[in-house]
Every structure is written in structure tokens, then in C-alpha cells.
């Protein structure tokens, strides 16, 4: 495309200019100098010209890393634009626009008007020629013209106005495009070049054709084709044949229209590889080519069609007679079967009605179950948030109570109840197939060691030793859902520690098989505790079943092993149990994790690093529960932020209309007006303050409505203060980037 070739030429010029303008610098911490980074950027564009998109994108990412390390906004803008150009060529237009905008964001931080000019021109190309959003695309072209006029760059002005004229002509707004074409005709002889002369003649041909000046239009089109044939701009030559074909078709010259369209198709096939031919426009061209073929061959085919139609009519008559005979033979049989079928249908209708009623009852029961779990979750989480929060406040404010057995029991009981609620929700999600495994890079040994450390309190209480044995053949990093894996191991190890006194719990991980990129790891959790009777082994994986429980201790909810078995099903695995009463228990299972070094590096590079901010924020809390107000206010003020509290949505709307806040924490279930409606009314006032739902509802139950109402994020009560402020920082930073 004309725009893409100019993109490559201009970028080479910009990079060359940048190399000459920057002084030689020392390499700091293995980061190359600016001159070396520019060389790498040149290589990325070279790969792009060769259509080696994979290497071009990989090299551009390297440039982006180096440029970010030395905080060079110009080079950051260059790297983003190269990435966007690759995506543009691969027809990933939405992604290309995203990276062009990122490049423009950093370009605007520099004093280099050339790069700003160029990125705006590229965005105009994508929106006009690919997304067909002409108004938005022309806006970018006009911004590009502003920079061209500021730099007195008539050559760039000719190029940009040529694009604008082409856009208007594409949408048949020739009067609007006329002034841009006249400008190009006037200044092109002096400031234009051979790369645009073909398009200039083609556009003149299109304009004359719109004014029914057929003779002049024909002359311009022929001249464009002659110049394109002699020159190197073969893509522009193909467009000239295409537009000439449309012109000839309009005049009724189907034969020449068809011939020009064939030439266009031939040039396109030569220029683009199979990957690019997947674009939708090629299908449209082929369809149009077929239409022209039908017009050209219409007269020759007409007689053949008539003859074929007559032949088909005779065949139809013969077939009709044969079918009629068959129908007469079947009629007697159908009549005999009619009564039998009528009786059968009556029975089926009754059976279907019964099945429908049973299905409705089952669906109703499932809905009631889901609603019950959701309601109970909300009703339990709300007071638990207050209990846990106030317990932590007491421990913070009264250090003398730190060793109080009563306060410790209260805290333990609250967390135990929260664990029960979470287990019930977890098992409910699994049964409703609402859990999808994620792919993250992680280290098996690190995860198991972290689980061991987190359960050290239980181990010490029962005077147990935890031993970890990890096969050295297991790769350092594997890919899989480490959260669900850790949950499985933690439940099994916790169970082993509870039922073992003065003993040993051994966690073993062995590599047992490798198939392609899949590494099959066998895990064993073995203890020498009380063991499980044979009669109980078949039922311990059922919900709410507990075996070997003493009356005076906490042995869990009875959901741990049920969750383990169901999570292993998601991993396409199963669990095996070996146990003898008085000798101990061993659980064994195998999970296949992926090992891919390149993918691992990509996953690690894509991890977002959260940098906590020490800035003091002004936060509004919309909450009707007085206890929760106290707890939330204490958490916010403890982190050196100011806090305002209102009881309902009406007060919130009134306050945000008068005062400016950095973030709003919004409860959902409030009287008078709920959190969703309150958020909608705040957004209707044009207030863009980040709003975070602070709720006891499960996140997946309210996500869709929260987003549609205008909320930015959700955090579920009870929560860790660190998690709350990570979300607050993230939302405030996102808003700042949008403003800039």
C-alpha cells in the first residue's frame, strides 16, 4: 500500500536523523547506547519490509525495553509504531490502533513534530482505509497537516492531502475532496515524487468520471496505468486498474472492465502472500470478478441455459411420474400406520410434558440453590467483614491484648467461618462449570515450599515435621494454573497435618513422563497418622463428610477433599488413596504441566508489576452498615489517606457534585438506591472519578452489571488492605494515563 511504503521510508529517515542527533553515551547496566538501540530499531523495520513479522515484533519489543530503561520517549514512540505497523500488515487493525495510540502518547512528550505528524497520518490510514471510520480518520489527517504546516513541509502536505482526497473519493464525496486534489495538482510537480504520481493521475480520473467527463477520465486512467507499468509502484498500478475497471463498468464496457479487473487480481496475487490474501477484501474482489465474468459471457451462455432448462424440465417430468407411482404404493402403507403413529404420538406428548415439568422443577431447584448460596454468601460476608476488621483494629490499638486467648479465638473463629463460606462457594462454582484453568509460569518447588511455610503453625501444634522431595529432573518453570494446584496440595497437606500427631508428612514430586511439551508430574502426600478405615475410604471425597473427627477440635468443613477431587477433574486427572488404620495415609495424583521456555519468558514479561504509591488520596466511602463504615475508615486512614463517609446513594451524588475525590468505594446492597443506580447517576453528571465496588457479593455474580453501570473494578469483602490499595493505585494511574 502507498501509505505503508511511505511509512518505511519515513521511519528510516527519522531513525537516521535520531542517530546523528544523539551523542555517544556510556552503557549503563548492560543497556545499549542510543546509537545501538537505533540500529536495533532499523533491523526491526528491515524485518518488517521483508514481511518477517515475528522477528520484527520481537526486535521491536527489545527496542521498547531498552528505550523504557533509558526513558527515551522518542525511541519508545518509534518501537510502538513498528509494532503497530506489523499488526496493521497482519490485519489486526484494532491492535494496531492501540499501539499507534501508545506511540502517539509518547511522541507527544517529545519536541519532535515529524514523529507526531507521521503517527497521526498512520492512524488516518487505518481508520479510513481499513476501519472505514472516515470522520475519525480525516481528523487524524488534519492533525498531521497541522504539523506539516508548522514545519513548512510541503512535500508531506502533498502526500497527506492526496490521502484525504482518496478517502473522500472512496465515499463518493467528490466535492469535498476536490480542493485537496487541486492542491496536489498545483504543488506535486515541484514537491511530489514518482511514488505518488500514479495515484495522482488515478484520482484525477476518478474525479473526472464523477463529473461525467469520460474522455478526460479515460485519459487520466490510461496515463496512471502507463506510469505504473513503467515504475515500481505495482500496488498503485493495481488500484489504477481497479478504478479504471469500475469506470468502464459504469460505461457498459464489460469486456474491458473485466480485463482490467483480471489484471488487478493478478498484480494483487503477485504482491501478497497467502496470509495477507485472507483479508476480507480479496473475497469481495473475487466475487466482483465473477459478476463481470457473468456479464461478459451472458449472451454466449443464454442459449446453453435455455437448452439445459428444457432438458431439466423433461427430467423433472419423468421424475415426477416415478415419484407419483412410489407415492401411490406408499399411500396404502401410510394409511395403515396412521392409527398406530397417532397413538404413539399421544404417548410421546404425555411423556414430553412430564419431562418438561421435571426439567422446569430441576432448573427451578438449581436456581434456588444458586440464589440461596449467593444470598447466604452476602449475608455472612457482611458481618464477617466487621468482625475480622474490628478484631484487627483491637490488636492494632491494644497491643496488651495481642496474647489474649479470647481475642485469638474470636479471630480464628471468624476466619474459620470465612473459610467455610469460601469452600461452599468454591464447590458451587465447580459444579456449575464456572471455573476455567489459567496458564501462568511457576516453579513447583517454590509453590510447595510456600505451602509448607504457610502450614507451619498447624505442623508445630501437632509436633509434626514436613519433608519436601522434588525431582531434580522437573524443569525450573512450568506453565499451568498454579492457584488451583496450590489449593489441591494445601488441602491435602493440611488434612494430613490435622490427623497426624508427633509424626511426619512427606510431599513428593516426581517427573514420570514427557510427551512433546507436556511434563507429567506425580505428586504424593504421605503421613504416618491415624489412617482411614477401608469402609470410609469410598465416601471421604463426598461433600460435608468428615472421618475421624474429635468432638473438641476443628477438623474443617468436610469440603476440602471434595474440592480436591473436583479440581483434579479440571486438570483431567484423578486421585488415588492408600491407607491403613494406625499406619498412615497416602494420596497420589498426576498432573500434566506444559514446559515451553519461549512461552514462559513471554508470560513472565507480561506480568504487571504493581508499584505501591505513597501518595495521599481523598477517598469517598458509600456504605450503609455502620460497623463496616468504621472498619473501612480505619483501613483507609491507617494508610494515610483521607476518608469521607455517606450512608446512601443520594448523599453520595450530592457530595461528589460539590467535592472532588480521587476514588469512590461503593457498596452494592444499600437501601433507597443501590450501588449500580448510584454509579449510573454519577456517570450521567459527567464525573469520571474511578468507582470501585466494595461488596459482599461474589465477584462473578455482579461483574457484568457493575461494568455496564460504569464501575471500574470490584473487591469482595472481607479483603486484605494491601489488595484494596493495589486496586486503588491501579485505577487512579489508569485515569491519569487517559487524561494525559
List pLDDT tens digits, range 287-309.
343 334 444 444 445 556 666 77
Residues 424 and 449 in one domain: no
**Of the candidates 721, 719, 733, the residue with the CA atom closest to the CA atom of residue 638:** 721
Backbone angles phi, psi at 23, to 5 degrees: -75, 160
Res 18 pLDDT > 60: no
Res 189 pLDDT > 80: yes
Alpha helix (H) residue ranges in 113-251: 113-125, 134-150, 154-170, 174-191, 197-210, 214-230, 234-251
Quick one: pLDDT band at residue 379, thresholds 50, 70, 90?
low
Angle at 476 between CA 470 and CA 482, to 5 degrees: 80
Res 551 pLDDT > 70: no
**Of the candidates 237, 243, 226, the residue with the CA atom closest to the CA atom of residue 285:** 243
Place of cell 527519522: 14
Q: What is the CATH number of the domain that holds 323?
A: 1.10.287
Query: Residue 472: inside a domain, yes or no?
Result: yes
450 alpha-carbon distance from chain centroid: 30
| Segment 224-245 mean pLDDT | 85
Measured in residues, the chain has a length of 740
Q: What is the CATH number of the domain that holds 664?
A: 3.40.50.2300
3-state SS string over 7-50?
HHHHHHHHHHHHHHHCCCCCCECCECCHHHHHHHHHHHHHHHHC
Beta-bridge partners for 504: 465
Q: In the prediction, which pLDDT does 454 show?
A: 72
- More confident: 690 or 291: 690
Q: In the prediction, which pLDDT does 426 show?
A: 58
Residues 656 and 674 in one domain: yes
Residues 478 and 576 in one domain: yes
Residues 600 and 640 in one domain: no
Three cell numbers, residue 614: 505513597
Alpha helix (H) residue ranges in 508-596: 560-570
Query: Residue 715: inside a domain, yes or no?
Result: yes
For 290-300, letters b (16+ CB in 10 Å) and e give eebeeebeeee
Q: In the prediction, which pLDDT does 1 show?
A: 47
Res 233 pLDDT > 50: yes
Q: In the prediction, which pLDDT does 22 show?
A: 43
Q: In the prediction, which pLDDT does 365 show?
A: 62
Three cell numbers, residue 343: 397413538
Residues 469 and 386 in one domain: no
Query: Residue 329: inside a domain, yes or no?
Result: yes
Residues 632 and 706 in one domain: yes
DSSP 8-state symbol, 127 = I
- More confident: 291 or 95: 95
Residues 624 and 731 in one domain: yes
**680-683 contacts: CB < 8 A, separation 24 or more?**
680/709, 680/710, 681/649, 681/653, 682/652, 682/653, 682/656, 682/710, 683/709, 683/710
Res 598 pLDDT > 50: yes
Phi-psi region of 609 (alpha: psi -120 to 50; beta: other; left: phi over 0): beta
Q: What is the CATH number of the domain that holds 464?
A: 3.30.565.10
Residues 446 and 429 in one domain: no
Q: In the prediction, which pLDDT does 187 show?
A: 86
Backbone angles phi, psi at 341, to 5 degrees: -65, -35
Query: Residue 128: inside a domain, yes or no?
Result: no
Residues 521 and 506 in one domain: yes
| Segment 248-264 mean pLDDT | 88
- More confident: 690 or 8: 690
Alpha-carbon Rg for the chain, nearest whole angstrom, is 36
pLDDT > 90 in the chain, percent: 18
Pairing status of strand 518-527 against strand 478-480: unpaired
Res 619 pLDDT > 90: yes
For the chain, give the mean pLDDT: 79
**What pTM does this model have?**
0.40
- More confident: 155 or 528: 528
Q: In the prediction, which pLDDT does 708 show?
A: 92
Q: What is the pLDDT of residues 452-497, one digit of tens each?
A: 887 887 888 889 999 999 999 999 889 998 878 888 898 899 889 9
Query: Residue 596: inside a domain, yes or no?
Result: yes
Residues 467 and 324 in one domain: no
Query: Residue 368: inside a domain, yes or no?
Result: yes
Q: In the prediction, which pLDDT does 493 show?
A: 92
Res 46 pLDDT > 90: no
- Domain boundary (407, 434, 461) is at 434
Range of 553's domain?
440-605
Backbone angles phi, psi at 212, to 5 degrees: 60, 25
Quick one: pLDDT band at residue 83, thresholds 50, 70, 90?
confident
- Domain boundary (419, 434, 449) is at 434
What is the sign of the dihedral through the CA atoms of 670, 675, 681 and 687?
Answer: positive
Residues 395 and 414 in one domain: yes
Q: In the prediction, which pLDDT does 691 show?
A: 95
Query: Residue 448: inside a domain, yes or no?
Result: yes
Residues 349 and 373 in one domain: yes
Quick one: pLDDT band at residue 736, thresholds 50, 70, 90?
confident
Query: Residue 63: inside a domain, yes or no?
Result: no
Beta-bridge partners for 548: none
Work out how many domains the chain is built from and give that number.
3
- Domain boundary (434, 451, 475) is at 434
| Segment 696-724 mean pLDDT | 84
Of 65-79, 122-136, 388-402, the one with minimum mean pLDDT is 388-402
Of 167-176, 218-227, 594-603, the one with minimum mean pLDDT is 594-603
- More confident: 393 or 262: 262
Pairing status of strand 642-646 against strand 618-622: parallel
| Segment 499-522 mean pLDDT | 93
Place of cell 483494629: 393
Res 610 pLDDT > 60: no
d(CA 400, CA 610): 35
Q: In the prediction, which pLDDT does 548 show?
A: 54
Amino acid at each position: 500500500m502507498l501509505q505503508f511504503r511511505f511509512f518505511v521510508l519515513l521511519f528510516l529517515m527519522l531513525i537516521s536523523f535520531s542517530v546523528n542527533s544523539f551523542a555517544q553515551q556510556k552503557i549503563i547496566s548492560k543497556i545499549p547506547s542510543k546509537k545501538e538501540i537505533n540500529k536495533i530499531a532499523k533491523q526491526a523495520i528491515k524485518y518488517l519490509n521483508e514481511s518477517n513479522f515475528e522477528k520484527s515484533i520481537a526486535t521491536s519489543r527489545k527496542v521498547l525495553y531498552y528505550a523504557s530503561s533509558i526513558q527515551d520517549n522518542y525511541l519508545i514512540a518509534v518501537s510502538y509504531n513498528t509494532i503497530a505497523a506489523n499488526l496493521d500488515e497482519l490485519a489486526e487493525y484494532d491492535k494496531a490502533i492501540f499501539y499507534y495510540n501508545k506511540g502517539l502518547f509518547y511522541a507527544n512528550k517529545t519536541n519532535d513534530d515529524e514523529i507526531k505528524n507521521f503517527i497521526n497520518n498512520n492512524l488516518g490510514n487505518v481508520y479510513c482505509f481499513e476501519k472505514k471510520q472516515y470522520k475519525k480518520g480525516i481528523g487524524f489527517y488534519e492533525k498531521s497537516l497541522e504539523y506539516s504546516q508548522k514545519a513548512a513541509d510541503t512535500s508531506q502536505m502533498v502526500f497527506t492531502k492526496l490521502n484525504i482526497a482518496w478517502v473522500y473519493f472512496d465515499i463518493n464525496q467528490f466535492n469535498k475532496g476536490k480542493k485537496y486534489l487541486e492542491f496536489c495538482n498545483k504543488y506535486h510537480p515541484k514537491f511530489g515524487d514518482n511514488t505518488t504520481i500514479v495515484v495522482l493521475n488515478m484520482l484525477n480520473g476518478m474525479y473526472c468520471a464523477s463529473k461525467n467527463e469520460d474522455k478526460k477520465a479515460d485519459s487520466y486512467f490510461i496515463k496512471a496505468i502507463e506510469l505504473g507499468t513503467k515504475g515500481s509502484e505495482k500496488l498503485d498500478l493495481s488500484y489504477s486498474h481497479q478504478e479504471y475497471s469500475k469506470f468502464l463498468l459504469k460505461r457498459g464496457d464489460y469486456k474491458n472492465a473485466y480485463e482490467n479487473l483480471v489484471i488487478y487480481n493478478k498484480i494483487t496475487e503477485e504482491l501478497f502472500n497467502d496470509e495477507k490474501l485472507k483479508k476480507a477484501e480479496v473475497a469481495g474482489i473475487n466475487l466482483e470478478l465473477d459478476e463481470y465474468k457473468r456479464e461478459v459471457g451472458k449472451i454466449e451462455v443464454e442459449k446453453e441455459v435455455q437448452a439445459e432448462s428444457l432438458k431439466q424440465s423433461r427430467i423433472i417430468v419423468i421424475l415426477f411420474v416415478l415419484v407419483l407411482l412410489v407415492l401411490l404404493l406408499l399411500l396404502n402403507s401410510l394409511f395403515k400406520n396412521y392409527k398406530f403413529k397417532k397413538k404413539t404420538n399421544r404417548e410421546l406428548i404425555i411423556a414430553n410434558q412430564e419431562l418438561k415439568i421435571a426439567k422446569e422443577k430441576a432448573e427451578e431447584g438449581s436456581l434456588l440453590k444458586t440464589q440461596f448460596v449467593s444470598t447466604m454468601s452476602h449475608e455472612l460476608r457482611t458481618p464477617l467483614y466487621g468482625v475480622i476488621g474490628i478484631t484487627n483494629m483491637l490488636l492494632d490499638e491494644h497491643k496488651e491484648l495481642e496474647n489474649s486467648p479470647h481475642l485469638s479465638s474470636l479471630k480464628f473463629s471468624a476466619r474459620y467461618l470465612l473459610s467455610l463460606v469460601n469452600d461452599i462457594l468454591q464447590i458451587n462454582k465447580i459444579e456449575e462449570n464456572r471455573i476455567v484453568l489459567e496458564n501462568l509460569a511457576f516453579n513447583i518447588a517454590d509453590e510447595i515450599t510456600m505451602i509448607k511455610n504457610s502450614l507451619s503453625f498447624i505442623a508445630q501444634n501437632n509436633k509434626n515435621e514436613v519433608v519436601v522431595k522434588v525431582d531434580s529432573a522437573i524443569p525450573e518453570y512450568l506453565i499451568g494454573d498454579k492457584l488451583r494446584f496450590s489449593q489441591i496440595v494445601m488441602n491435602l497437606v493440611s488434612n494430613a497435618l490435622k490427623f497426624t500427631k508427633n509424626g511426619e508428612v512427606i510431599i513428593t514430586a516426581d517427573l514420570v513422563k514427557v510427551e512433546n511439551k507436556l511434563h507429567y508430574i506425580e505428586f504424593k502426600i504421605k503421613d504416618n497418622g491415624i489412617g482411614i478405615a477401608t469402609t470410609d475410604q469410598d465416601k471421604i471425597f463426598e461433600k460435608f463428610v468428615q472421618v475421624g473427627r474429635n468432638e473438641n477440635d476443628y477438623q474443617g468443613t468436610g469440603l476440602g477433599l471434595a474440592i480436591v477431587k473436583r479440581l483434579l477433574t479440571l486438570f483431567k486427572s484423578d486421585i488415588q488413596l492408600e491407607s491403613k488404620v494406625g499406619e498412615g495415609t497416602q494420596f497420589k495424583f498426576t498432573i500434566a504441566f506444559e514446559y515451553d521456555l519461549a512461552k514462559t519468558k513471554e508470560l513472565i514479561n507480561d506480568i504487571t508489576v504493581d508499584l505501591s504509591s505513597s501518595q495521599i488520596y481523598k477517598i469517598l466511602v458509600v456504605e450503609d452498615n455502620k460497623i463496616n463504615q468504621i472498619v473501612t475508615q480505619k483501613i483507609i486512614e491507617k494508610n494515610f489517606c483521607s476518608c469521607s463517609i455517606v450512608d446512601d446513594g443520594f448523599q453520595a451524588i450530592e457530595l461528589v457534585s460539590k467535592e472532588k475525590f480521587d476514588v469512590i468505594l461503593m457498596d452494592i446492597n444499600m437501601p433507597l438506591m443501590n450501588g449500580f443506580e448510584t454509579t449510573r447517576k454519577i456517570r450521567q453528571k459527567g464525573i469520571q472519578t474511578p468507582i470501585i465496588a466494595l461488596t459482599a457479593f461474589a465477584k462473578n455474580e455482579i461483574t457484568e452489571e457493575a461494568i455496564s453501570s460504569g464501575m471500574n473494578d470490584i473487591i469482595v469483602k472481607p479483603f486484605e488492605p494491601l489488595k484494596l490499595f493495589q486496586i486503588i493505585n491501579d485505577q487512579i494511574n489508569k485515569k491519569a494515563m487517559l487524561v494525559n
